Structure 1
């Protein structure tokens, strides 16, 4: 009965089906899946959901899932960050295996039931309004960055008391000018003699790229243009990942419909769509088609979408890259969970190996941040704990540069290093920034 010999598949998420929200059926499915996990325990070291589950079972009267209370089941769900690593890397019982186990999407179902009942916390709901928050934060960047700065003795304790956001947690600062407003001034004209001339890429700026840190976007634009690729950058709206984490699937499906319709004419004209953030790429490639399986725009967008590192590697394979200067440096590469969940391999490593004399060293562990999960008071210490083995593994290679494909993982790993007594690098940015540096862009 061990793992299937076929490739893993995922079912369409039946979020419009009333039966999917039946609480008795959900409880039965939680206990069925948790009993299988109890008998396997391969995921004990992935995140705290599994130790919480296994400890609860071990301490129960009969050491059975049937003994667990509803509160104990909820504790397992609340510890899940929807990183997808159990499904992608450990579980032998995912579909098409007859056990039909998809732990992350079961956690999603639980949160969708909570969301429908109005039980999603105020802080989770408001933080998930990414576009509104980004526009306000950029417009008021001076005041917003002062208020959210770690160590602010006035505002951070108030935020912790009112919203449960841990006063020690790093919050991304805002750029005064969104990336899409900077773009016309910084996209150079394509070089007709470069290998990628004739190709067209739309960089989809996620909320963090557009409002908080445009550095990876500027680097990607410059690298692509240097290689002859025609580039434009767009931010039609948030991909919906934070609302997905909340189980607010109707809003995510609405975003998928609107954004895929926005990109549809560009896809038809032959533009490749390249999200700047791995979470956005995961949504466009995989999660949106599971929410809107009948939407042709969503399906075509999924096929046209590539992660940044994935696109550069494919460009190099198909037409080559403009000559890259040597960069004799050891590069610690954090392989972000939502990059791993795209099932494309460590494309950041492949991209960095294109730089002469560069020595990228891969770390395949979760940073512990988990979207907005890691900033909350009840989760922050756990997020640091999960990130410590990752930080140790990154530091072991004594890297000159550290990068992560996740824009939230980088600053969090810096905090983990500081908490562990390690001097962190000044910045943990995106791997595309290193390639731009090698090009002297």
Structure 2
């Protein structure tokens, strides 16, 4: 029997609408099949906390094998998975089309889907997954909301921990006074120069995080693309559903996919490319939605039309050539290659983009931040998240770079906090997005 495979990983559609998908005995049998293979391999021991938890369970069992581990003890292994996909994309030699047919993240997803169907997903997890509602409400009272959630506010944060289980030590994203959609409409930033990429049309899918938390990322994108002659529109019809995916709420993800795909179809039909401004959202639109709704023509159309922002800028550079005007960044850049950027299987496009800046020095850190969406905010996960993020934090702080960036906004918030825990490490004022540096190099 061959070890591993030289073929590209492939994934099966997720049969979440089939009754057998929620059969707990069938799940247990598959968990045991996969866990036994993982036990014999152990290449993923240093990726996340799921695998050390699994291997410790087995090693500390009476027989030292999986047969003496009780099924009820599998839950901590399932809970530790952040659905980063790195085991599937970078480590596991047994992913499809290998005959062992391992897809560890989607197996953890199945276990969570069963928990969700049984009503076992926690109240904070379910409420935090309602990102559009939360963002809309917080944006109305951004000042008080940011004051109440700021780390160090010992008046409100202990209450938040008691009520929502969000660790009092965790940095939480701030909310903007005005959404990206609102600011884009007010700025009139579509200043389409007659630049090399003139003729391209794009719609910026704002994503909840950029729309409600970091509109500056969207505004920087507008300026870069406008300077390169791209005609733009901006829309946020709804969340991509990644927070619901983390909960195993596959019906909720499917509903979001249908809503957003239908809303964006007219733009695609009008010749617009769809640009997702957050890598997790690009991953959902391109890969996860077509696995959840494989027969939906609108979902398939959207997947084929979607670009990650760095991927799109690199595509312009290769096909039309970038507009002139890029200047020096003044100092080296340390770039975190986020897991959901890596999972798109397109290479480090953000690093490729930044290296187009004259005189740029870009080092790439390919380690998990340890945050995992909302996962790292919870009290049971915060210390683990800091531990997992330490190698990435050390690598980013090495040699004191002038700029530290990550395509994943939540990873950026978390990594800055990780770097704070490293003795003598220079803490960046902010871990921004690569497109913001690119806009700065253009003088915006």
- Give the TM bin, normalised by the shorter chain: over 0.9
Q: Are 1:79 and 2:80 an aligned pair?
A: yes
User: Match of 1:385?
Assistant: 387
Q: Are 1:367 and 2:373 an aligned pair?
A: no
Give the TM-score normalised by the residue count of structure 2: 0.98
| Whole-angstrom distance in 2 between the partners of 1:266 and 1:232 | 9
Offset of residue 269 of structure 1: 1.1
Q: Are 1:432 and 2:435 an aligned pair?
A: yes
How many residue pairs get matched? 441
| Whole-angstrom distance in 2 between the partners of 1:72 and 1:55 | 11
Offset of residue 128 of structure 1: 0.2
Work out whether residues 328 and 359 of structure 1, in 8 Å CA contact, stay in contact via their aligned partners in 2.
Answer: no
User: Match of 1:116?
Assistant: 117
Offset of residue 414 of structure 1: 0.8
Offset of residue 187 of structure 1: 3.9
Alignment of 1:302-313 (within 5 A): 302-313=303-314
Find the residue that maps to 1:3 and give its secondary structure: coil
Offset of residue 192 of structure 1: 4.3
Work out whether residues 190 and 222 of structure 2, in 8 Å CA contact, stay in contact via their aligned partners in 1.
Answer: no
Q: Are 1:327 and 2:311 an aligned pair?
A: no
User: Match of 1:174?
Assistant: 175
Q: Are 1:353 and 2:366 an aligned pair?
A: no
Find the residue that maps to 1:158 and give its secondary structure: helix
Q: Are 1:417 and 2:419 an aligned pair?
A: yes
Alpha-carbon deviations, 1:218-260, whole Å to 9, x = none? 1001000011101111100000000000000001001101110
User: Match of 1:154?
Assistant: 155
Alignment of 1:7-18 (within 5 A): 7-18=8-19
Work out whether residues 198 and 228 of structure 1, in 8 Å CA contact, stay in contact via their aligned partners in 2.
Answer: yes
Work out whether residues 187 and 231 of structure 1, in 8 Å CA contact, stay in contact via their aligned partners in 2.
Answer: no
Offset of residue 348 of structure 1: 0.6
Alpha-carbon deviations, 1:254-308, whole Å to 9, x = none? 1101110111111111100000000000000000000000100100100000100
Offset of residue 35 of structure 1: 0.4
| Whole-angstrom distance in 2 between the partners of 1:15 and 1:222 | 41
Give the TM-score normalised by the residue count of structure 1: 0.99
Work out whether residues 190 and 197 of structure 1, in 8 Å CA contact, stay in contact via their aligned partners in 2.
Answer: no
Q: Where does structure 1 lack aligned partners over 5 or more consecutive residues?
A: none
Alignment of 1:35-74 (within 5 A): 35-74=36-75
Offset of residue 66 of structure 1: 1.8
Alpha-carbon deviations, 1:179-223, whole Å to 9, x = none? 101112324344342111110111111111001111111100100
| Whole-angstrom distance in 2 between the partners of 1:233 and 1:428 | 24
| Whole-angstrom distance in 1 between the partners of 2:229 and 2:191 | 4
| Whole-angstrom distance in 2 between the partners of 1:381 and 1:26 | 29
Alpha-carbon deviations, 1:68-101, whole Å to 9, x = none? 1223211100010000000000000000100000
Work out whether residues 282 and 338 of structure 1, in 8 Å CA contact, stay in contact via their aligned partners in 2.
Answer: yes
Find the residue that maps to 2:74 and give its secondary structure: helix
| Whole-angstrom distance in 1 between the partners of 2:215 and 2:78 | 33
Find the residue that maps to 2:126 and give its secondary structure: helix
User: Match of 2:89?
Assistant: 88
Q: Are 1:21 and 2:15 an aligned pair?
A: no
Kindly report the root-mean-square deviation, in angstroms, between the aligned alpha carbons of the 2 structures. Answer: 0.9
Which one of the candidate residues 330, 343, 346 is aligned to 2:345? Answer: 343
Q: Where does structure 2 lack aligned partners over 5 or more consecutive residues?
A: none
Find the residue that maps to 2:409 and give its secondary structure: coil
Write out the 4+ residue segments of structure 1 that deviate beyond 6 Å after TM superposition. Answer: none
